Structure 1
């Protein structure tokens, strides 16, 4: 496996990218979330790309316009469909053996792929999709609070803290009030994502890190019976633990090997 640094154009603007080469005819297009550069938090994207390529699947990563090493203005993830489309064309040009492409995104990169109806990819792996509106708080939704308290009640040490008076009762009361609230309402962003994904005909897998608030809010606003959802117990937003990284890698490889 070798890593090639390159550039491609999106509407006349130069964008930076990398290709982790591999001989496979199925490739992974990795879309950066938020305002992260393509290396991702703590170089996580680069490490993930290397392990996927080592398994035989080429990986293309890129900075959308206005982010990282790419030129132009940052137009936000909601307006990044042309960036993704240009990256896909560049991927197919630099790795002509690739016949199928799986799009992968975490957080609002997953949302961007959904809004773009899959952006001409053949399959999607959507991790912790962002469904919150601008200015909306990201505190855990009621279902997540109830689940957290249920786990605490199973822990003898937590019960001992409660009995001994070492628990902040004011904080506990606020948590109980939030836990009693009904299911979170959907958002206009979530509705647009649902509409966009409805136009995609390829296979889809949702990956949710159970310890992540973004994933918890998505779960509240999505169909709880969606069989495409897989959960990683205890994982944070970036899948930073060794176990979570292995889980994420395995789920992506499962899709690529179909």
Structure 2
């Protein structure tokens, strides 16, 4: 495998990319979430790209404007559609054999791909999409229920409850929140994302880590009948657990083979 680095233009700024080369005519465009650089936390995305390329699929990662090694102003995920489209064009130019490109995004990178109506990609793998609009507000009921399911299997948490070390008023508020029914249809940011995704005609996978607050909030804000949703039991937000990482790799490879 060969990894090379280059720059490409986006609305007057130069963006920096890393390409893990491979011979397949389907490639993976990896979009970073938050203000994370293209290498990912603890180099996780770089290692992930190497594993995908070792299976024969080229992978391009990039820093959007104002992040990492790229020029320009960082205006957040809602303004990143031009960056994604520019990265896709650079990917096709750097790998002339590539005919189809799958986009992968976790957290608000998944949201950005949805808001961008797929940004010209051929298929999407959307992991733990960000739908939380008010960090100060109550957590969705599904998030609260998941939290308390885990706590009730934790002996230390049970001891704290029995010895009076748990704030009862807060516990009652949380249990009331957990009893609320989930929303029937997306609303707010989730509704915008649903509208954007509805325009996209390619294959879509929606992946959720079942120990991740962002992923569970997405489920609470999303159409419960969407059969494209796949869940990974025991996984946290970045799939750092070995079994979860293997599951994610398997999902992405299957998406690349059927794009």
Q: Supply the RMSD in Å over aligned alpha carbons.
A: 2.1
The answer for the alignment partner of 1:229 in structure 2 is 229
2:114–2:193 contact (8 Å) kept in structure 1: yes
The answer for the alignment partner of 1:144 in structure 2 is 143
The answer for the alignment partner of 1:168 in structure 2 is 166
Partners in 2 of 1:61 and 1:99 — Cα distance?
18
The answer for the alignment partner of 1:21 in structure 2 is 21
Partners in 1 of 2:211 and 2:252 — Cα distance?
19
1:177 Cα deviation after fit: 2.3
The answer for the alignment partner of 1:103 in structure 2 is 103
Output aligned runs, 1:176-191, within 5 Å.
176-183=175-182, 186-191=186-191
2:142–2:217 contact (8 Å) kept in structure 1: no
2:126–2:204 contact (8 Å) kept in structure 1: yes
Secondary structure class of the residue paired with 1:243: helix
1:240 Cα deviation after fit: 1.2
Output aligned runs, 1:116-135, within 5 Å.
116-133=116-133, 135=134
2:80 aligned with 1:80: yes
Partners in 2 of 1:243 and 1:195 — Cα distance?
33
1:176 Cα deviation after fit: 1.4
Partners in 2 of 1:167 and 1:174 — Cα distance?
16
2:112 aligned with 1:112: yes
Partners in 2 of 1:28 and 1:149 — Cα distance?
37
After the TM superposition, which segments of 4 or more aligned residues of structure 1 sit over 3 Å from their partners? 135-140, 147-153, 155-167, 184-187
The answer for the alignment partner of 2:205 in structure 1 is 205
2:151–2:158 contact (8 Å) kept in structure 1: no
1:162 Cα deviation after fit: 7.8
Partners in 1 of 2:114 and 2:105 — Cα distance?
10
Partners in 1 of 2:70 and 2:147 — Cα distance?
41
Partners in 1 of 2:146 and 2:16 — Cα distance?
42
Change (3 A) 1:23 1:175: same
Partners in 1 of 2:91 and 2:36 — Cα distance?
20
- For structure 1, which runs of at least 5 residues remain unmatched after alignment? none
1:235–1:244 contact (8 Å) kept in structure 2: yes
The answer for the alignment partner of 2:92 in structure 1 is 92
1:175 Cα deviation after fit: 2.5
1:116–1:196 contact (8 Å) kept in structure 2: yes
Partners in 1 of 2:107 and 2:50 — Cα distance?
21
Secondary structure class of the residue paired with 2:239: coil
